[in-house]
A and B are shown apart, each in its own frame.
Chain A
Amino acid sequence: MLGLNGKDFRLFLIVCVMALAAPILLNPFPVDGALAQFNAGYPALMQAFAIFGILAIGFNILFGLTGYLSFGHAAFLGAGSYAAVWMYKLFNYNVIFAIPASIIVAGLLSVLIGYVSLRRSGIYFSILTLAFAQMMYAIAYSDLLGRFFGTPITNGETGLQVYNSDPQFLLAEGGLAEPHLFTLNLNNLTKIQFGGWEFTFEVGYYLCAIFLILSFYLSIRIFRSPFGMMLRAVKSNQNRMNYTGLDSKPYMLAAFVISGLYAGLAGGLMAAMDPLTGGERMFWTASGEIVLMSILGGAGTLIGPVLGAGAIKYMEKIVSALNDNILHGWFAWMPDGMENVAVAILHPFVGKGWHLTLGSVFMLVVIFLPGGIVEGGQRIGRLFGRKGATQTPTDATTTPAE
């Protein structure tokens, strides 16, 4: 189906259903229940899942298949966002200009950076990409380009945003002043009540979801194509491949640019959800986060990076929003002394301490689940003796990159 084999098609279907039904699946708890805190089915978080999912899928095409660890991928994300906001400033808020622009800009940039960085391999490649990204961060954060041209280009630390005085050549009188797709406002949403449950369907999220599905489909096709084979060959032994007379460089560059395009798309979508962008998006910690998402989920597997992205974003938003009052609420059934002890134990891990949770989860996952979340899923699958899980999908067991 759709050029996919049975197993891949099933996986693709699962992703489609997950993406399209996310507003329902991610809101398993009634709105007024004690666990409503853990609902993730609200637009801002679902958008983050989809956008970072796209980013991680793209990163995985480079890292998962070839083993080349780019430590500067956030630069393409940031460049994409800046391009999108500039489209808003120059034309209008229609994302039909913004998103292609972000993909093109990120693509051009990745050709440039990829061409230079791919002259080295291993850690030398990583540091080259890191250096490019950090330079771009400094340029954006202090608007060094703007200083050169005499007009704000990235608008420094404040972040690039649209002002009333911007040209916006295509903005009609009284036109929509929020990102939209042919006047379909991306912020439009519909809420549906179902008993104690409430589900929010937002246009913006569905735009992201559609792109996520397309990205995922493309990624499966790349993984299964001769081109994907070639990339894997690079990973297993680039030298041997070169000795056979094959020039691996064009393949590598293609993989790098493809993953750059994905990052540009993610950056464009970010700017489509919120028409502002800042230089922090390019900082090395942002690049590091992409790497961590990919490894946490399971590098080299199709679905892993998406799961990793989801896990990190979930912790960032949900765990950081917990506080002592909520904890006391949970443990109210305990005797007072025990309640206080339980709250005291959990206290450092929630709210402002969510980084501690993040760090601990990284360590626990990598210690106990060497293949990331995907490996965890397979183990659970084996535990319940599900048929077919014993013969793990060839792809999911691909060893993580070295």
Chain B
Amino acid sequence: MDAIIIQILNGLDKGSAYALIALGLTLIFGTLGVVNFAHGALFLVGAFVAVTTQRLLKISYEVVDESKKDFLGNPLVVDTPYVHGWFGQATGDAIIDWAVPLSIILAIPVMLFIGFAMERGLIKHFYKRPHADQILVTFGLAIVIGEIVKAFYGANPIQTPAPSALRSTVDFGVWLGYEPNSILYPAWRLVYFFFSAIVIAAVFAFLQFTTFGMVVRAGMADRETVGLLGINIDKRFTIMFGIAAAVAGLAGVMYTPILSPHYNIGMDFLVLSFVVVVVGGMGSLPGAVLAGFMLGILQSFASMNEVKAIIPGIDQIIIYLIAIIVLLTRPRGLMGRKGVMED
């Protein structure tokens, strides 16, 4: 039983990552009708905002330490971060330690800006263009963003650890009345889950309970009519694009301690996020979230040894197998709306 509980936790954790990315993608897909192949790249940019924050906080001045030698036998150059000088060693280290959560502060404006710029500068011109053109231009953009990241940060994964206070495990079993140490779960993953839940709830609340959200929802349902009512729907859609980018970016920021980011991480998530969105059903935000969690949990279960003993390799194909089954039994995914992207 504890094995199942821990896989449920793993599934919720994976699922929250899938759900966050898919949520952003659905906002763009569902609201703007744009097939955005650069959505993985937004996740990538978010992850590298965290890396950059870490690097910025570590900017150092060099001190030559004569007592030590580097690999060539020259005196060792020791880097001392400026934050040490400004705040003292202990506080400085603590600031660097909290680089990932701190980078959220930076990530929100950066991602909003990138989202606005992308929509105004590029996507706007592609609303009336065929989906094929949208695929080509956004895919090209994704490649360009990936290569730029590679040029600055290399291709190797970069370690971006969680704050040391959150690097330990939580004895989750005790909460459920199990013996101590039977279900240990990494603290950061729980943080990630709750963070995702808050972001998802915030997006839904924003769309559900604000006038702005109401207009956007109306626009999603029938853009032309809303436009005829004299409402400037375009401006709102730009803002929605920015929000979608921010959601993807935040998913990336918070995921870095779980997965060391590298330049290709966006492409790795791209296909998966499309599968999640489509399984959830086109144009349905709850569908995307539901599909994200469902696929995450099923994937975790399929990775269990007991399951793999029955069907070897099932963990490698489960997501696609589920996608096929869902799409064949429910024509528009779990909660899709009729007529969205069906032709």
Contacts and interface: CB of A to CB of B under 8 A. Distances in A.
Query: Are A and B direct contacts in the complex by CB distance below 8 Å?
Result: yes
Interface string B124-157: 0100011111011101111110111001000000
A383 to B, nearest CB: 23
Interface string A365-394: 111001000000000000000000000000
Contact of A128 (B267, B317, B327, B341): B327
A122 B343 contact: yes
Contact of A69 (B132, B316, B332): B132
Contacts of B323: 127-128, 131
A348 interface: yes
B75 interface: no
Nearest to A367: B137
Contacts of A402: 130-132, 343
A257 interface: no
Interface stretch (A43-51, A91-99, A136-144, A319-327): A136-144
A307 interface: no
Given A123-B278, A127-B327, A361 B313 contact: no
Nearest to A284: B271
B332 A401 contact: no
B265 to A, nearest CB: 14
Contacts of B324: 116, 128, 131-132
Q: Most A CB atoms within 10 A — which of B129, B278, B282, B331?
A: B278
Contact of B327 (A120, A139, A348, A356): A120
A284 B320 CA distance: 12
Contact of A127 (B129, B148, B274): B274
B63 interface: no
Nearest to B316: A138
Interface in B86-131: 122, 125, 129-131
A291 B37 CA distance: 13
B229 interface: no
Contacts of B320: 130-132, 134-135, 138
Given A131-B320, A363-B141, A402-B131, A355 B146 contact: yes
Q: Give the interface centre of B136, B274, B279, B319 by most chain A CB atoms within 10 Å.
A: B136
Nearest to A283: B271
Nearest to A291: B135
A359 interface: yes
Contacts of B147: 348, 353, 355-356, 359
B144 to A, nearest CB: 4
A400 B130 contact: yes
A292 B136 contact: yes
B143 A362 contact: yes
A124 B330 CA distance: 10
Contacts of B220: none
Contacts of A362: 136-137, 139-140, 143
A147 interface: yes
B151 A360 contact: no
B321 A135 contact: yes
A131 B341 CA distance: 18
Contacts of B327: 120, 124, 127-128, 131
A67 B136 CA distance: 15
Given A135-B321, A138-B317, A348-B151, A295 B143 contact: no
Contacts of B143: 355-356, 358-359, 362
A357 to B, nearest CB: 9
Contact of B312 (A130, A147, A285, A366): A147
A172 B223 CA distance: 70
A361 B342 CA distance: 29
Contact of A147 (B135, B148, B274, B313): B313
A119 B328 contact: yes
A130 B275 contact: yes
Nearest to B141: A363
A348 B132 CA distance: 28
Contacts of B125: 367
A299 interface: yes
A162 B267 CA distance: 33
A295 B144 contact: no
A124 B316 contact: no
A69 B131 contact: yes
B312 A144 contact: yes
B321 to A, nearest CB: 7
A127 B132 CA distance: 15
Nearest to B320: A131
Interface in B140-197: 140-144, 146-148, 151
B292 interface: no
Contact of A123 (B316, B328, B331, B342): B342
A215 to B, nearest CB: 22
A366 B144 CA distance: 14
Interface string A304-323: 00000000000000000000
A124 B317 contact: no
A365 B275 CA distance: 28
A284 B267 CA distance: 10
Given A127-B274, A370-B129, A122 B136 contact: no
Interface in A97-155: 116, 119-124, 126-128, 130-132, 134-135, 138-139, 142, 144, 147-148
Interface string B267-287: 100010011001100100000
A238 interface: yes
B341 A123 contact: yes
B312 to A, nearest CB: 5
Contacts of A366: 133, 136-137, 140
A213 interface: no
Max chain A Cβ within 10 angstroms of own Cβ: one of B267, B279, B341, B343: B343
Nearest to B267: A285
Interface string A272-296: 0000000000001100100110011
A399 interface: yes
Contacts of A69: 131-132
Interface in B199-228: none
B331 to A, nearest CB: 6
A401 B343 contact: no
14 contacts: A123-B341, A124-B331, A124-B341, A127-B278, A127-B279, A131-B320, A131-B321, A138-B317, A142-B316, A285-B267, A288-B139, A292-B135, A355-B147, A366-B136
Closest 3 CB pairs of A and B: A362-B140, A359-B143, A131-B320
